Amino acid sequence: MSSIMGQIVTAMVTDENDTEFLVQKDGTTMHLLKDDTNGQLTNGSMVKGFVYENEDHDLSLSTTIPRAGIDQYAFGDVVKVRRDLGVFVDIGLPDKDVAVSLDDLPEMKSLWPKAGDRLMVGLKIDAKDRIWGDVADEEMFREIAKKPDDSLKNKNMKFTVIRLKMIGTFVITDDDYLGFIHPSERFNEPRLGQVLEGRVIGIRTDGTINLSIKPRAYEAIGDDAAMLVAALTHNDDQSLPFTDKSDPEDIKEYFGISKGQFKRAVGHLLKGRYVKQEDGKLILIKMPEELENNADESIDDIENQ
């Protein structure tokens, strides 16, 4: 193979057929798809492109410069998984996805990326002149990360898993903040490359934000139950003239939910001993633990839905 593998070079058109041009650089011949050009090339034309081996193992040139390169890292979508080899990432080439070796992936294959996940990769060339995806390391992400401030607290964010450790999950947000998810703030360990949504629950002194992917408080107890809590807390005596015996039409008119939904929500709150029913009223006894530390935010969120 050629020492120019993975490089951006300028080559000369030497021949063509119905679907491609043949181009040369320092005596090395490469294939260039006509669909990858403006169609105006002729013998002797000079064309600039990226050198790679296509899916048919032909040395090729693409005028479409990939997002990733040697010492150049970018996110690409995972398009295929091969348990005996690794995962394949789309970096923008017309007929080639780049493999990330299983040696660079978690030992537990259940934590490998799936199709639709994404990895930040650069390119590396092995001893056999083959291109591989090179997963960005922690230092690489720290170089691009922004410094967070307290205004981010309680914000919703989207982020991508970039590193898996025993102590927790490291991510980078779509806004380029480094984040950390403690095992207590998730139900299951996310995959490498998985795209998630969560909220900021703290700012660390090292410039990393703490994140949670557990539901917000009102989501954890259920929207209907949280709505009842919100309504109860807005009354001075923290009570409502409704019980599970109330007329269905009255419930529908006041809360906008069916009596069945109302009874399930009340049942949840009764089971947790958060409310009681007395003298035809629903009375708040205590704030649910899920809402206790974030009551104002949860109630505002519910009312704005």
| Span 82-95, pLDDT tens digits | 999 999 999 999 88
Better-predicted residue by pLDDT, 258 or 304: 258
296 pLDDT band, cuts 50/70/90, is very low
pLDDT score of 297 more than 50: no
217 pLDDT band, cuts 50/70/90, is low
Using a pLDDT cut of 70, give the percent of the chain over it. Answer: 91
CATH 3.40.50.170 holds for 218-303: no
Range with the lowest mean pLDDT among 36-50, 149-163, 213-227? 213-227
pLDDT for residue 219: 60
CATH number of 74-136: 2.40.50.140
Q: Please report where in the chains the tokens 């009681």 appear, as a residue.
A: 276
Q: What is the pTM of this model?
A: 0.70
pLDDT for residue 214: 82
The 3-class secondary structure across the chain, one letter per residue, is CCCCCCCEEEEEEEEECCCEEEEEECCEEEEEEHHHCCCCCCCCCEEEEEEEECCCCCEEEECCCCCCEECECEEEEEEEEECCCEEEEECCCCCCCEEEEHHHCCCCHHHCCCCCCEEEEEEEECCCCCEEEEECCHHHHHHHCCCCCHHHCCCEEEEEEEEEECCEEEEEECCCCEEEECHHHCCCCCCCCCEEEEEEEEECCCCCEEEECCCCHHHHHCHHHHHHHHHHHCCCCCEECCCCCCCHHHHHHHHCCCHHHHHHHHHHHHHCCCEEEECCEEEECCCCHHHHCCHHHHHHHHHCC
pLDDT for residue 289: 59
Phi, then psi, of 244 in degrees rounded to 5: -70, 0
Q: What does the pLDDT average to over 196-209?
A: 93
Distance from C-alpha of 217 to C-alpha of 237, rounded to nearest angstrom: 23
pLDDT for residue 282: 95
Q: Please report where in the chains the tokens 């205590």 appear, as a residue.
A: 286
The residue extents of the domains of the chain are 8-62, 74-136, 145-212, 218-303
63 pLDDT band, cuts 50/70/90, is very high
**Tens digit of each residue's pLDDT (9 = 90 or more) over 158-196:** 999 999 999 999 999 999 999 999 998 988 899 999 999
pLDDT score of 220 more than 70: no
Q: What does the pLDDT average to over 84-110?
A: 95
Listed in sequence order, the residues at least 6 apart from 199 whose beta carbon sits closer than 8 Å to its beta carbon are 154, 155, 156, 157, 211, 212, 216
Q: What does the pLDDT average to over 49-69?
A: 93
Mean pLDDT value across the chain = 89
218 pLDDT band, cuts 50/70/90, is low
Q: What does the pLDDT average to over 57-61?
A: 93
CATH number of 8-62: 2.40.50.330
Reported residue count of the chain is 305
Same fold, 74-136 and 145-212: yes
Name the CATH superfamily housing domain 145-212.
Answer: Nucleic acid-binding proteins (2.40.50.140)
Strand order in the sheet with 86-90: 98-101, 86-90, 74-82, 118-125, 131-135
**Tens digit of each residue's pLDDT (9 = 90 or more) over 233-284:** 888 899 999 998 999 999 998 888 899 999 988 988 888 888 999 999 999 9
**Tens digit of each residue's pLDDT (9 = 90 or more) over 119-142:** 999 999 999 999 999 999 999 999
